Structures are given as C-alpha cells and as structure tokens.
Structure 1
Amino acid sequence: MIRFEDVSVTYDGAAEPTVRGVDFEVPEGELVLLAGPSGVGKSTVLGAVSGLVPHFTGGTLRGRVTVAGRDTRTHKPRELADVVGTVGQDPLAHFVTDTVEDELAYGMESLGLAPDVMRRRVEETLDLLGLAALRDRPIATLSGGQQQRVAIGSVLTPHPRVLVLDEPTSALDPAAAEEVLAVLQRLVHDLGTTVLMAEHRLERVIQYADQVALLPSPGAPLVLGTPSEVMAVSPVYPPVVDLGRLAGWTPLPLTVRDARRRAGLLRERLERTTAPGAEDVRAGGTVPEPPVPTAPRKPSRGPRFLRGRTPSPVLNPSAPAHPAVVDALTVRRGRVEALRRVGLTVTPGETIALMGRNGAGKSTLLGALAGLVEPSAGTVRVGGAVPHRTSPRDLVRRVGLVPQEPRDLLYADTVAAECAAADLPHARLRSRGGTPITGAAPGTCRALVSGLLPGIDDDTHPRDLSEGQRLTLALAVILAARPPLLLLDEPTRGLDYAAKARLVGVLRSLAAEGHSIVLATHDVELAAELAHRVVLLADGEVIADGPAADVVVASPSYAPQVAKILAPQKWLTVTQVRKALA
C-alpha cells in the first residue's frame, strides 16, 4: 500500500539530507510504527506519504514514494486526499472550521459525499472518540487533548485507505489514548485500513504494531522488523523493555502482562532490598513535604550546563514561605465551569504533577498561576502577589510558564536569535500572551538547548524544528530565567526517552536549589520519575492530592508500567529497580 524506494529528502539550505536511503514497504491492512529519537526525520517520512514533502515543505526528494500505486512526486496532496488521511503534530494547524461537528464533516464535503452519508459518519465518529458531548463546542474552547481527538476524527470520517499519524496520543490522557488506539486497531483489523504512525510514547503503542520502522539516528539507514526484534537494538524503548533488558529476559516483553508473567524472581530479589525512598528518586515511597529553605544552598551537581548559576530568588530568606497558594479557586468560561473551589499550596523545592483526563482543568489552573486567567471566585497568590493584577515585569520575577504550544513563546527567525533574546538583561513580554522573561548570562539559553537536545543548529528557523525540538527551545527560553515557580504544560510532547531523561535531570537540579515546579502532564512515566506530589483533577475539582507513589499506584489509569509489573511492591521506575539491584 505504501512503498518507499531509496528515498532521501534534502531541505533548501541544508548541507545534508534529513533522511537518506529510506527503503521499506507498508502492506495493506497493517499498522507500522515509525520510531526513533527526536529530530531524526520521522515527520519528513510521514510527510512524504501524503505529498506534503516536498510539494508543501519545499526541498528535494530523491527516490520514489507510492501510495496505492500513486507516485507522490506527480500527485500533489489534494490528489491523494481521497486515499490518505493525515494528522500532524499540531492539531491547531489542521483545523479549517470553528466547531467540532463542522470540522468532522469538512473533509467529506470536500470529497462531495452525500449528506446522509456524512451525517451517519459524523455520528459514528463522535461516538468512537467520545466527542458527542462536544459536538457544538467551538474548537478554540477545547483542551489540547480534546483538539487532538477532533483532528483524528476529521480524518477518519472520509474513510481513507491510509492513515498517517504524527504523535497521535501525545496530548491525550491515558484513557483517551487507549480509546483512540482501540479505534485504530478496529480500522486495521476489521476494515483493512493501513496505518503509518510515529509516536514517542512507545509504552502506549508498541504492543499494537505489526512492524516497527526504526530511524536510529540522523542519516542512518532505516531498520524494519517485528516489535521485539527492533526493540532489542533500538536506542529508544519503553520502560517495560528497559526492565526486560535489566532483568535479562529473552525475548523482551512488550506488554505489562508479558512482563508480569516473568517478574516473579525479580520481585523476590527486590523484596530483600531496601524499599524505594525519596533519596533514590522523587517519586519513591512516601515523600515528605520538602522543607522551606532558610538560606542559599550550594547547587546540586546536576547537568553541566546548569552548574555555577546564580541561586534562585526563592532561596532568599525574606521570600514568601510558599511560592504559590490557591484557595477555593473557581474559573468559569461561559457556561463551562473549568475549575471549582480548587485549593493548592506549593512549597519551595517541591515538584507537583497535575494529572487528569483531557478538559479536567489542568491548563486552566496553570493559566491562573501565571496570571493569564482571572478567577471567577477564590484567590491565587504567587510569591505574595495576585498574578492577574501584577505587571508582567514584576510577575516574571516570580513565575515562568511554558505553554502547550511552544510557538507561543517563539518569534525570532533563528534558534541563535531566540536564545540571544532570551539572555537579554532586561525584561520583555513574549508575544501571544506568553510569559515575560528576564536576562541571564550570555549563552545560558543556548547551553540549555544543547544540553537538552543536542544537534539543533543555530541558523535553523524555529518553525522548521520538529515538535520536540521546538518544545526544547521554548523550555530553554523560560529555564534561562530560572524563575522561582516554573509551570510546564505537557513538557514532554515530542521528546524521546533520552531527551526526557535530560529534562528530568534539569528539573531535579532546579528543585534541589529550591525552585518549585508545577507540571500538567499525561505522561505517567514522567510523573513517576519526577514528582513529589500528584494532584488528580476531574471536571474542575481536585479528587486526589498526595505523595506520588500513593496516588499513582492506587490508579490503574495513571500507574507507570513498572508499578503495574511489580505490584504490590511500590516500585515506580526502572531507575529505582536498577539502584536496588546494584
């Protein structure tokens, strides 16, 4: 159904091809997972299937890509629209209409389908993706995860023979991701739909793949094989595979069920070791509330690019006892009550993970802390100030926000210019409602970018970066200012496991110096590695607030893979297990 024949793609101005010598075939009715580290060219490979590469992106494509017998060199994207449905990393760039129902119908209207057929398919898709309650909602009012489901639904309604999906579950909560993947399985198994999908959260999707196409590094030849074959040599792999490698299991398990069947001896060995604790990783065992620092401490030996920086203002003895206090916060948006009497106290050096289904109110809470959302009732104080009534120049000394859409913080023409602007010694307000930043030592932002995700060129335009690279740049822009309170909204979207591990190292170093971190995430593995506390939200209310190990282990939806495999023992990460066995 999809055939790559010795394909290389070189973008205008690039010295080397982004991908080189890609040669593989996706048979009809199979789900093939495209895997690899951030920035190796996965989105380029996907774009070549729909014709967006090179007809829309520019550059030179050598070799041949055919879809259902149509050569993408001679067929532009509109001439492939009846065969290929594409969902990119950015749902907002995908939408054409204003409401959910209209967006689901738009693709069928373009193909001239009969009204009765369109109505039936819209209803089927609303039910399949759990969108029926949102059918009349303006798309602009939806959460990022809800927008992701609408984008997926809009390409399902025309019933394409080929689906091309770039990070389809990155913004979805665990339950919604399972629903979407179940729909894809049904399309593949029952209708013979061909699916080519790129995804960094392999723990969610690896068990559904018929084959895995691995791009191990930029310019390296593609490796194609069964999931177990490829995971044995892949530089990126989910926690279940990491645990299998550590335990020496052969063949490597791909699912929690497979791993649990082999974990008996491992559990016995771990019973004889010290139980996980806060000194090992942030989420192990019952973590006490971090103490309030009373004087500057020597920075921990974290990543090299963070060493030697000036301590955070939160370490000042005269600073407020709590970087953020939320009391009975209620936020209404029209008829929707996004938050309902939410209370939250953030202490210095504490890392809190906000979790919950899409639309639960996580981003709204972060927006209220950053001064972007005005409370309808209740109070919010950050560093002793009321955020929405505080001038940006003053608020920046208290809080920094990295939103879901990294482009909201990026407006320069090159990565180098963006980093230089982030280091300027005066405050400036980022465009489109972003967080203002203060100056830092020259080179601070660039060092952070290189440390988090090596290989990003100075001359690259931010819009030409992958989603993960763009997010890394936005993170560096905010981290360069080292705000006392750092707010992150889905900070691991588009990041591979290695980049995520480096981010965890950076955030741990900041927390050790007294910075407070509140992150909204659907990434249960990130919460397990990093969070002191987990706060679960549902329909705008806090339904659980406690030590990470206690909250996530008690929740089947939010427990990490290691916790499920080794339950009832409270091990959350492979890092904990490796240290215990050592």
Structure 2
Amino acid sequence: MITFDEVSVHYEDMAEPVLRDVGLTVDEGELCLVVGHTGVGKSTLLGAVNGLVPHFTGGTLYGRVTVDGRDTADHPPRELADVVGVVGQDPLDGFVTDTVEEELAYAMEQLAVPPATMRKRVEETLDLLGLADLRHRALYELSGGQQQRVAIGSVLTAHPRVLVLDEPTSALDPSAAEEVLSAVTRLVHDLGVTVLIAEHRLERVIQYADRVIHLPGGGRVVAGRPDEVFRTSSIAPPIVELGRTAGWDPLPLSIRDARRKAAPLRTRLADAPPPPARPEVPAVGPPLLTARGITVSYDRVPAVREVGLELHGGRVTALMGRNGSGKSSLLWALQGSGPRSGGTVRVTAADGGKGGDPRDLSPADARRLVGLVPQTPTDLLYLESVEQELAQADRESFTLGKDVHARAVLDRLAPGIDGATHPRDLSEGQKLALVLAIQLTAAPRVVLLDEPTRGLDYRAKTELIRVVDALAAEGRAVVISTHDVEFVARAADRVVVMAEGDIVADGPTADVIVASPVFAPQVAKILAPLPYLTVAQVAAALPDDEADS
C-alpha cells in the first residue's frame, strides 16, 4: 500500500537530511506506530505519504514514495485525498467550516459523495467518536480534546484507504483516547484501512500496533515487530521499561499480558513498602494562592462552579478530568486574564513585592505572581525567530537562577533547535518547549501549565519534571493540567480531579490515581494491589542481580 524506495528529504536550511535513504513498505490493513524523539523527522515521514512533503513544506525529496500505486512526487495532496486522510498535530489548523456537522461533511463535499451517503456517514462518525451531542456546536467553542475528535472524524467520513494520524490522542483524556484508538483499530481490522500513527504517549497505542517504525535520529528508520524494536529502542513506554527491568522475554505489550507475567514479581515486591515515587515534600506553610468560590460561565452555561483551591509553595499539583470538565477555564480564572463571573483569588508576593488578585494588577506585576502556559502555545509566539523570542523573554523576565536563561531551559526540554528558525516552523512539541522556556524564565510565584506534555517525548517529559521540581524546590507552587497519567505519576505530589466544573477528588497522587481505573498508570495496573506507580520505584526495590523470566 505504501512504499518508500531509498527516500531522503533535505531542507535547505539544515546541514543534514531529515530522512536518509529510507526503504520501507507498509502493507494494506497494517497499523504502524511511528516513534522517535521530538524533532527527528516523524512529521516529515508522515507528510511524505500524502505529498505534503515536499509539495507544501518545501525541501527536496530524493527517491520515490508511492501510495496505492501513485507516486506522491507526481500527485499533490489534492490528488491523493480520496486515498490518504491526514490529521495533523493541531486540529484548528485543518478546520475550514464553523460547526461540527459541517466539518464532518466538508471532505465528502469536495469528493462529490452523494448527499444520502454523506448523511449516513456523518451519523456513523458522530456515534463512533461520541460527538452526537456536539453536532451543532461551533468549533471554536469546543475543548482541545473535542476539537481533536472532530478533526479525526472529518477524515474518517471520506473512508480513505490510508489514514495518517500525527499525535491523535495528545489532547484527549484517557477514556476519549481509548474510544478513538478502538475506532481506528476497528477500521484496520474490519475494513482493511492502513494506518500510520505518530504518538509520543506510546503507552496508549503500543498494544494496537502491528509494526513499529522507529526513527532513532540521523535520518535513519528502523522497522519491525513492536517487541523486537522496543527491546533495544531509546524510547519506550512504561510497560516496556518494566519488562526490561524485570527481564521478561518476550516483552509484554498489553496490561493483560504483563499481569500474567508479573505474579512472581509481585510476590518479591510484597514484603516491603515501595520506595517513594517523589521526593519528600517539605512541611506545608501558608498558601501562595487562595481561591474561593471561583465561577466561570460562557453564555450562562457554567464551566466552573464555585471552586475553592489552595496552592502551597514547594508542591506540584496535577489537575485532571475528562475533556470539557473545566480545567482550562479554572487555570485562566486563576491567572487573571480569563473570564470569572464570581469568586476571589489572592496571591502572596515574595520579598515585599506587590501581591493581590492578578486580575487587578498590571500585566508585568501579574506575571511575576502567576505564569500560564496555554493549551495552544503559539498564542504566545509573535516574533520572527526562536532567538528573538528567547532574547525578549530574558529582557522582560526574572531568570530561574543567576546563570539560567530561556535558552538553557529550552535546550533541556528540546535540544538542538536552531535559533534562526521561525517559531511557526517548529513541531508542536518544539513550540511547546519554546513557550515553556519563555514562561518559566520569569519564575513566577505560581506556575500554571495547561497540557504541557502535549507533543513531548519521554526524554523531554523527564527534563520538564526536572524544571518543575526546580521551581517547587524554590518554594513556588506549580499546577499542571494534563491527561497524561504516566507523567502525573512521576511529577505530581497532589492530584485534583474535576468533573462538570466541580472538584470531585483532591489528595496525594498515589491515593487518587491508584483508586481510579481511568487515571491509574501502567505500573499500578500491572502490580495491583501493590501501591507502585513508576518503573523507578520497582527498580529501586529490586536487588541489582534479580530478574524475572
């Protein structure tokens, strides 16, 4: 179905090719998982499948890419639209209509699908992705996760033979992600659709993959069975890391298979309590931020309902909940620039600075109290190059420490980004890393991060945890709104869960997420009822010479 014949892609402003001499064949009805660190060329590989590379991205493509017998060099994306459906990293970039129903129908209108067939497919897709209640909603009113589902649905209605998904679950809560991936799997198994998925949250997708395409760097591509590739790959989900630690062979790829292998491991670990997943949190002092009765409404529809919250210095709080539960609305209300129809926010200042409600302060004073990285990071990027953005951040902000500047923070999160690159030309993960660097350079008293792991690989998430821990160690309060349960298990001291605008759970990380089948990380599911959250805890509890077979 898809063939890469000695394919290389080279951009003029880059010293080395993004892809180098790639030879690859993807068969009909195969689900391939494309993995690799941020910036290694996954999006370029996917873009070559439908002709976006090089017809729209520029650069030079050497070799030959064919899809269903069509050479992409001779067929631009519009001539492949009936064969290849593509969902990009940012759903807003692909929307062309105003409402959910119109967006689902648009691709079929361009392909001249009969009206009766269009209506049937729209209804099927609304049910398949849980969008029936949103059919008449404006796209801009939807949460990020809802927009992602609409973007996937708009492609599915055209019934393509090849489906290319770039970070399809990055904005979805665990339940919604499972629904989408189950729907994609049904397309593969029942209709023979060929699917390529690039995804950083491998723990969500690995069990569905027939084959893994690994980009280790340097333009190279390695393809094979998931258990073979992940045996030695530099990037792997927690279930694989646990298998490596325990010495399991073959490596399990699903929770069910891992639990079957884990009985001896659970027996060995049962004799002693697990090591702590997080460093010990210092004694709680007075709260840095106190919120009372926070209410947010849109057109008289409440998004946040009289929420009270206290944030203490030195603690990292994860804000969780399904898409549309009110997480982002709460963060913007705390930051001060978002709508707030009721309630109060009070932030204490350091070193005799000006405290109070961020909504009532000047932008400069408010930023020193509360910093927010939004769900769409490009909203904060407006200059012509990465270097200009970093320099502007250094001029306007306090640094994290005496010798730490925005460039240093960026290099820890996403190393190797050329300062001359335009911010809009970065991958989604690189854009997020840039905005994180800009905001964290100010080191405000309270740091609010809205889906900061979207588009970040495991290595970048580890660096983000280090940055967040450094902020907490300085006595700052950090709130991370996220659907990434594996990140929460490693990064958060406290978890707050929202549903329909209310806080429904609030407590230590282990107590909240282990009790929830939806939010429990892979290690917790595999080793239950033992209270383990991370692979690092297991490795610390096992003697160095122990292995499980």
TM-score (norm 2): 0.95
Contact 2:359 2:366 in 1 (8 A): no
The residue that corresponds to 1:231 in the other structure is: 230
Are 1:374 and 2:329 an aligned pair? no
Pick aligned residue for 1:337 from 302, 318, 322? 302
Take 1:523 and 1:186, find their aligned partners in 2: how far apart are those partners?
Answer: 24
The one-letter amino acid paired with 1:474 is: V
Are 1:561 and 2:522 an aligned pair? yes
Take 1:251 and 1:163, find their aligned partners in 2: how far apart are those partners?
Answer: 29
The 5 Å alignment of 1:237-256 reads 237-256=236-255
Offset of 1:438 from its aligned partner?
A: 4.9
Offset of 1:551 from its aligned partner?
A: 0.5
| Distance verdict in 2 for CA 1:442–1:98, change over 3 Å | farther
Take 2:415 and 2:133, find their aligned partners in 1: how far apart are those partners?
Answer: 43
Unaligned runs of at least 5 residues, structure 1: 293-320, 427-436
The residue that corresponds to 1:481 in the other structure is: 442
The 5 Å alignment of 1:125-144 reads 125-144=125-144
Contact 1:487 1:518 in 2 (8 A): yes
Q: Percent identity?
A: 62
The residue that corresponds to 2:28 in the other structure is: 28
The residue that corresponds to 1:577 in the other structure is: 538
SS of corresponding position for 2:180: helix
Take 2:112 and 2:195, find their aligned partners in 1: how far apart are those partners?
Answer: 24
Pick aligned residue for 1:413 from 361, 367, 384? 384
SS of corresponding position for 2:213: strand
Contact 2:293 2:342 in 1 (8 A): yes
Offset of 1:442 from its aligned partner?
A: 7.7
| Distance verdict in 2 for CA 1:389–1:76, change over 3 Å | same
Unaligned runs of at least 5 residues, structure 2: 349-354, 544-549
Take 1:150 and 1:257, find their aligned partners in 2: how far apart are those partners?
Answer: 31
The 5 Å alignment of 1:451-466 reads 451-466=412-427
The one-letter amino acid paired with 2:381 is: L
The one-letter amino acid paired with 2:418 is: D
The one-letter amino acid paired with 1:269 is: R
The one-letter amino acid paired with 1:462 is: P
The 5 Å alignment of 1:60-75 reads 60-75=60-75
Give deviations 1:350-396, integer Å, cap 9, x for gaps: 11101011011111111111112222122222335222222211101
The residue that corresponds to 1:500 in the other structure is: 461
The residue that corresponds to 1:524 in the other structure is: 485
- Of the structure 1 ranges 372-381 and 238-247, higher mean CA displacement relative to structure 2 is found in 372-381
The one-letter amino acid paired with 1:136 is: H
SS of corresponding position for 2:287: coil
The residue that corresponds to 2:352 in the other structure is: none
Pick aligned residue for 2:374 from 391, 395, 403? 403
Pick aligned residue for 1:291 from 256, 275, 284? 284
Are 1:89 and 2:86 an aligned pair? no
Take 1:232 and 1:346, find their aligned partners in 2: how far apart are those partners?
Answer: 42
Contact 2:381 2:423 in 1 (8 A): yes
The one-letter amino acid paired with 1:555 is: S
The residue that corresponds to 1:122 in the other structure is: 122
Offset of 1:288 from its aligned partner?
A: 6.9
Offset of 1:341 from its aligned partner?
A: 1.7
The one-letter amino acid paired with 1:360 is: S
Give deviations 1:304-358, integer Å, cap 9, x for gaps: xxxxxxxxxxxxxxxxx32221212111101421111211111111111010110
Offset of 1:406 from its aligned partner?
A: 1.4
- Of the structure 1 ranges 455-464 and 522-531, higher mean CA displacement relative to structure 2 is found in 455-464
**Aligned-pair Cα RMSD in Å:** 1.5
Take 2:347 and 2:160, find their aligned partners in 1: how far apart are those partners?
Answer: 49
| Distance verdict in 2 for CA 1:9–1:542, change over 3 Å | same
SS of corresponding position for 2:340: coil
Contact 1:420 1:443 in 2 (8 A): no
The residue that corresponds to 1:515 in the other structure is: 476
Offset of 1:451 from its aligned partner?
A: 1.7
Take 2:403 and 2:442, find their aligned partners in 1: how far apart are those partners?
Answer: 12
- Of the structure 1 ranges 459-468 and 486-495, higher mean CA displacement relative to structure 2 is found in 459-468
SS of corresponding position for 1:549: helix
TM-score (norm 1): 0.90
The residue that corresponds to 2:198 in the other structure is: 198
The residue that corresponds to 1:393 in the other structure is: 364
Offset of 1:443 from its aligned partner?
A: 6.4
Contact 1:533 1:546 in 2 (8 A): yes
Offset of 1:539 from its aligned partner?
A: 1.0
Take 1:535 and 1:290, find their aligned partners in 2: how far apart are those partners?
Answer: 19
- After TM superposition, what 4+ stretches of structure 1 lie above 4 angstroms from structure 2? 287-290, 437-443
The residue that corresponds to 2:547 in the other structure is: none
SS of corresponding position for 2:337: coil
Take 1:288 and 1:238, find their aligned partners in 2: how far apart are those partners?
Answer: 27
Number of positions where the alignment pairs a residue of Structure 1 with one of Structure 2: 536
Offset of 1:289 from its aligned partner?
A: 7.7
Contact 2:274 2:537 in 1 (8 A): no
Take 1:259 and 1:375, find their aligned partners in 2: how far apart are those partners?
Answer: 46
The residue that corresponds to 1:327 in the other structure is: 292
